A and B are shown apart, each in its own frame.
Chain A
Amino acid sequence: MRIGVVTFPGSLDDGDARRAVRLSGADDIALWHNDPDLHQVDAVILPGGFSYGDYLRAGAIARFAPVMESIVDAAGGGMPVLGICNGFQVLCEAHLLPGALVRNAHLHFRNRDQMLRVQSTTTAWTMNFTEGQEILIPVKNGEGRYVADEAVLDELESSDRVVARYVGGNPNGSSRDIAAIRNEAGNVVGIMPHPEHAVEALTGPSTDGMTFFASVLAHLGGKVGAEA
C-alpha cells in the first residue's frame, strides 16, 4: 500500500506523518507541492505545518499548488485523503470540506494533549474505531477554531459527518466542539488534532493515533479485496 504525504514549503509534520505511515506498515511516498504527479499512491495525507508561511490565511495559498489539482480530482474519484491541522485548513480552502478554520478564540497557539470522542466510523480513516470511543491525541494550532454557518453545522450533524469532537475542554473555541469532519463519501477527512503525534508510546501521549492509519489500510485492503 502506498500512502503519499505532501510537502508544501512550510510543511512541518510531513516527516511525522511519513513515520506514522511506515509504522502502520504502508509505504510512505513523498509528494511535492509543485509536482502534480501523485506517483500511484493509494491515499494522500496533507500534513500539519505552515504552508507558504500561512501568512494570509492558513491554507489559502497551498490550495493553489499544482499537486492540489491532482488531489482534488483523485478525491472526487474516491481516493482517501486525510488533512491534518494545516492539511484540514487546505481542504477547507480547496472546498473539499465545508466551513473554515479561524484564529483560536483565545488568540493563542495552544499545544496540549486532548481527549476526543470519535463520532463517525463510516470514513476511510476511522473505520477501525468504535463509535463513541474516546482517544487522546495532541492538539496544536493557532488557527484551529472550526466555524461554519448554522445550516452547514446542522447538516454535518444530521449526516453523520462530524468525525470527532473535543471532550474535556474545547481547546480553541470550535463550533459545537468539532475536531474533525468528513465529506459526504467519507473518503476525505479533515482533523485539527495530530494523530501522527500519537503513534509511539515513547513520544506521544498515547498510541491512539495509529488507528487512523490502520483504518485507511483496512479500507484500502477491503476495497482491493472487493475488486478482486
Chain B
Amino acid sequence: MTTTENQTVPAQQARGESPEAADGKPDEQAPDEVADTEVIDDPEDESDEAELESADVHAEEDFGAQEDLGTRDGFSPDDEVVDEPDGPDTVPLARRRPDDRQPYRELGLQDDEYAKIRDILGRRPTQSELLMYSIMWSEHCSYKSSKVHLRQFAEKAVPSDRLLAGIGENAGVVKLSDDLAVTFKIESHNHPSFVEPYQGAATGVGGIVRDILAMGARPIAVMDPLRFGAPDHPDTSRVLPGIVGGVGGYGNCLGLPNIGGELVFDPCYQGNPLLNALCVGVLPVGGLQNKAATGPGNSVILLGAKTGRDGIGGASVLASATFGSGSEARRPSVQVGDPFAEKLLIEVCLEIYRADLVVGIQDLGAAGIACAVTETSAAAGTGMAINLDTVPLREPSMLPHEILASESQERMLLIVTPDKEHTVLAIAERWGVPATKIGEVTDTGRVVIEWHGQTVVDVPPASLADDGPVYARPMREPNDLPLMRADRAETLPRPTTGDELRETLLKLVASPNLCDKSWVTEQYDRYVLGNTVLAQPEDAGVLRIDEESGLGVALSVDGNGRYSRLDPYAGAQLALAEAYRNVAATGATPVAVTNCLNFGSPEDPQVMWQFAEAVRGLADGCVELGIPVTGGNVSFYNQTGAVAINPTPVVGVLGILDDVAERLPMGLRNEGDVLVLLGDTRNELSGSEWAWVMHEHLGGRPPKVDLAREKLLGTVISAAAELGHLSAVHDLSDGGLAQTLVEACLRHGVGATIALPESVEPAVALFSESAGRALAVVTRGHDKAFTALAEEHGLPWAAIGVVGGSSLAVREQFSVPLDELRTAWSGTLPALFGGLEPTSN
C-alpha cells in the first residue's frame, strides 16, 4: 500500500514540500507495452496490477495494450536474460555481462526509462532490480500520469489546524480533540475484483485497512462504494455477489463495522466493476507512526504471513521469458486474503505502538518487500542490508525476484532498535504471528539485497521511490461531449397527471440504483465494536470515538459517473457536494476530504482531459468549502477496448460531531412533525436517475453546483440541530425529492402528506436532482422558529408537508400506501440476485 499512496497531500506538502515527495515513486511506463500489468491497473491498489496478469482471462478485454507485445523487439524468449544455470542474476554478473538483453518492454518500461535505470546504476540492472524498477515506476505505484494534476490538492489546500503535521504517509490524519485523531482513506481494487470477485474485494479491504494501521491507528470502520454493469447482465450476477461476499467476508471476520457506501449500476462498468474501499482509524494525537527507516544498526523485521507467489506481476514475464514455458508454478497467482491473519496483525501492531517499540513501519502492498525496503530507507535517507534467505516462504523454491515482488497479504515491515527487538518478537509470538529479522538499516545510502550468499540487488532507494518519471500527458475534450451536452433531458416528455406521476415514482423506487440496498448491507456487520451510531441506509455513517464525551465522526462517500461524464469538473464538485451534504445532514461539521479517482486509460487524451478536469474541480471545490483533501488514490485503465468507464471520482468527506447523541437520523418518526424543503428546486433532469430509468437517456448538463449554498445548508442544519428544532434530516440527491420522501417514510414505516411547491411543475418538483437541498423534519411546534432561522441565513425554504399516516400522499396528485412502496422498493435486488429468505426449518 504504501506505494499507492499517492495522492496524499498532507501537511508536508502544504508546508512547501513538493507533492512528489509525498507521493511515491516516479516512473513512467509505457502502458501499452506493459501488457497485462498495466492493464490492470490502477494506481490504486497495489495489488491489482499484479493480479491482472494472472488473469490472462481478462486481458483481452482491457484496452488494446497487448497487441503490441508480441511485436516488440526488446526481448524475445530466445534471448537469454540470465543464464547461469541454477543461479540468479547477480550484481557481479550484471557487471560481467553488461550486454545481456533484458525484457524491460514486456515489464512496461520505455526505452528511455530503461536507459535511465542503467544510468542510475552505472550498469545493467539485475533481473531483480529490473523487476523492482518496473513495478515502482509503474503508473500504479508512481502516479506518473496523475502527479502533475494531483499537486493541486496540495497547492490549493486550505490551511487547517485540524490537519496533523507530518502526515503524508499513507493517509491524512485529522485531529479531533487534544488527545484523539482520526485517519481515513479510500483505495480501489477494481481489476482484481473483476478477475476474482471475492478475493479481489477481500484483499482490497485488507489493503486499505493495513494502510490505516500503518499510520499508527486502530482501524474502526469500513465503507464500500461499489459500481457494477447492468444489473441484469449475466456477468453482474457473478461479480456482484462475489464482491459483496468478499467485502463482507473480510470485514466481518476482521471485526470492522461497515457503515456505508454506494451501490451503483451502469452499463459502462460492465467489464470494469469498481470496488473502492474506505477505512477510518483512530489514534492518539501523539501516536502517529512513520515509515522512515532511521538509525543505522536498527533491525528490519518482517511481520505477518509467509511470503508466497501471490500476485507476482512482472515476475511472470521474467518467468515465462527466462525459463521457457511450462513453469506453471512460477506463474503469478491471485492473492487470497486471510482476515484472521490480518486481525492478529492489527492486535500485534497496536500492542507494539502502545509500548512505543517501533522507529518506523510500513505495510506491504504492491511490490511487497521491494517497495517496503526502498520506501522506508528512501524516506530516511539511509540504506539497508537485507538477506532474503531469512524471509519465511510458503514455497521454498521461490527465486529472489519472486520474493521481492510477492504481494502476499497481511504483512508489515518494522524498523526496530536492537534493544527492543526481543520485545517485539515476543508480542508477535504471543499472538501467533510470524516475525523475522530480515536485515538492518545501514548508512550506505544503498539497499543491498543478498540471496544465497550473492548480491542480487544494490540500488539507491530514492531512485525507485522518489525519482521516477513524471508525464504531462496530452489532453483533449472528448469529441462527443458537445453533442451529448446539447441533448438535454429537460426536453424529454415528463409525466403530468397524478397517475403518471405515481407510476413514475413506483418505477423509480424499484430501479436498481434507487431501490433498497439491504440485500447487500445485511451481509455486513454494522454492530461490531459497539460504536456505530448511524449506518447505511442513513445519510452518513456516524461513529462514536470517545465513549465518555460522545465525540465522534460522520463519514459519507459519494460519486456520480453520469454527471462526471457530462462535465467532469462539475461532476467531481457534485460528488464532493453530496458527500459534504450527507455529513452535514447528520449535524456534523465537515472537516476533511479523501478521494478515489476511477478513470479509463491516461494514454487516451480524452480520458486525461476528464481526469484533469475532475481533479481541478475537486481541488477548487475544496477551496470553496474550506476543507482540505487529505489523501486519495487514482485508478486508471478502467476500460474495455477503446471504451472507458464514465469518469468516476468518488469523494469521501469526514465530519466531526462533538456529541454523537445529537446526531440527526434520516427517517420520519413522529406524527405532526413538519417537512420543510431547504434549497432551490430547478428544472434539472439531465444526468438524473429519472432520465436514465424512464428514457435511458444521458445528456445535457448536470445540476448546477453552488458550494456556498452547500455550506449555508450545513450551517443552518447544524444551528437548528443545536436549538433542538429538528428530529431528522434527509439529503436530496439521486432520484430527487420523491426518493428522499420514500426513503424517509420507509425508514420507520411512517407516512407523510405533501403539498408540492408551485414554483415548478410537479414532475420537476419530484424528480429534479438540483443540488444544495435537504428535507428537514421539524419537530412539531418548532416550525416557525426553524423557518425564521432559515430566513435569517438567507436559505430558501418551503414547508411542504406533515408527517403521519401510512401512505405517502401528494395532494392533488396521488397517494401510495407504504406497503405498496415497500414492496416496489425492496423487491428488486432479491429478484436479481436471489432471495435471502431462508427456508423455514
Contact = CB atoms under 8 A, between A and B. Distances in A.
> Is there any pair of Cβ atoms, one from A and one from B, under 8 angstroms apart in the complex?
yes
A170 B523 contact: no
Given A111-B526, A202-B533, A203-B533, A170 B255 contact: no
Nearest to A112: B522
Interface string A19-48: 100000000000000000000000000001
Nearest to B347: A9
Nearest to A144: B838
A55 B523 CA distance: 18
B759 interface: no
Given A111-B524, A140-B525, A202-B533, A173 B344 contact: no
A174 B841 CA distance: 6
B660 A110 contact: no
Nearest to B518: A112
A10 B252 CA distance: 11
A15 B531 CA distance: 11
A121 interface: no
Interface in A104-137: 104-106, 108-112
- The dominant DSSP class at the B interface is loop
Contacts of B343: 9-10, 12, 50
Contact of A55 (B340, B530, B835): B340
B836 interface: yes
A203 B532 contact: yes
B340 A53 contact: yes
Contact of A173 (B340, B341, B529, B839): B839
Given A16-B530, A140-B525, A196-B530, A106 B838 contact: yes
A104 B344 CA distance: 26
Contacts of A13: 255, 528
A170 B836 CA distance: 11
Nearest to B244: A108
B706 to A, nearest CB: 34
Interface string B828-841: 00000011111111
Contacts of A197: 527, 530
Interface in B331-367: 338-341, 343-344
Contacts of A49: 255
Contacts of A9: 340, 343-344, 431-432
A16 B528 contact: yes
Contacts of A171: 838
Contacts of A169: 837
Given A16-B530, A203-B544, A105 B523 contact: no
A194 interface: yes
A53 B339 contact: yes
Interface in B236-289: 245, 248-249, 252-255
A95 interface: no
A105 B528 contact: no
A173 B841 contact: yes
B840 A53 contact: no
A198 B525 CA distance: 14
A59 interface: no
A21 B766 CA distance: 49
Interface in A180-205: 194, 196-197, 200, 202-204
Contact of B523 (A109, A176, A202): A109
Please classify how large the interface on chain A is, using the bins under 10, 10 to 19, 20 to 34, 35 or more. Answer: 35 or more
B252 A110 contact: no
A197 to B, nearest CB: 4
B344 A12 contact: no
B661 interface: yes
Nearest to B524: A111
A103 to B, nearest CB: 10
A19 B529 CA distance: 10
A87 interface: no
The CB with the most chain A CB atoms within 10 A, among B431, B523, B836, is that of B836
Nearest to B840: A170
The CB with the most chain A CB atoms within 10 A, among B518, B523, B524, B838, is that of B838
Nearest to A17: B530
A66 to B, nearest CB: 14
B350 to A, nearest CB: 12
A145 interface: yes
Given A9-B431, A171-B838, A194-B527, A111 B522 contact: yes
Contact of B544 (A140, A175, A202): A202
Contacts, number: 108
Contacts of A16: 527-530
Contacts of A80: none
A160 interface: no
A106 B835 contact: yes
Contacts of B523: 108-111
Interface in B540-557: 544, 547
Contacts of B840: 170, 173, 177
Contacts of B518: 112
Contact of B530 (A109, A111, A203): A203
A146 to B, nearest CB: 10
Interface in B430-472: 431-432
Contacts of A173: 838-841
B253 A110 contact: no
Contacts of B339: 50, 53
A215 interface: no
A203 to B, nearest CB: 6
A50 B340 contact: yes
A89 interface: no
Nearest to A194: B527
A15 B218 CA distance: 14
Contact of A175 (B248, B341, B836, B841): B841
Nearest to B833: A108
Contact of A140 (B249, B431, B527, B661): B527
B343 to A, nearest CB: 6
Contacts of B340: 9-10, 50, 52-55
Contacts of B838: 104-106, 145, 170-173
Contacts of B531: 203
B205 to A, nearest CB: 14
A176 B255 contact: no
The CB with the most chain A CB atoms within 10 A, among B432, B529, B530, B532, is that of B530
A173 B837 CA distance: 8
A96 to B, nearest CB: 24
A4 interface: no
B522 A202 contact: no
A83 interface: no
Contact of B525 (A108, A111, A174): A111
Interface string A141-170: 010010000000000000000000000011
Contacts of A176: 841
B528 A202 contact: no
Contact of B338 (A53, A140, A142): A53
Nearest to B531: A203
Contacts of B249: 109
B749 to A, nearest CB: 13
Given A145-B838, A173-B841, A109 B248 contact: yes
Contacts of B839: 105, 173
A9 to B, nearest CB: 6
Nearest to A50: B253
A16 B531 CA distance: 9
B536 to A, nearest CB: 11
Given A19-B547, A138-B527, 18 more contacts: A10-B253, A12-B255, A12-B343, A16-B527, A53-B341, A105-B839, A106-B835, A106-B837, A110-B522, A170-B841, A171-B838, A172-B838, A173-B839, A173-B840, A174-B841, A197-B527, A202-B533, A203-B544
19 contacts: A10-B253, A13-B255, A15-B530, A16-B527, A50-B343, A106-B835, A106-B838, A108-B836, A111-B526, A111-B527, A112-B518, A140-B527, A173-B838, A177-B840, A177-B841, A194-B527, A202-B660, A203-B527, A204-B527
Interface of A: 9-10, 12-13, 15-16, 19, 48-50, 52-55, 104-106, 108-112, 138, 140, 142, 145, 169-177, 194, 196-197, 200, 202-204
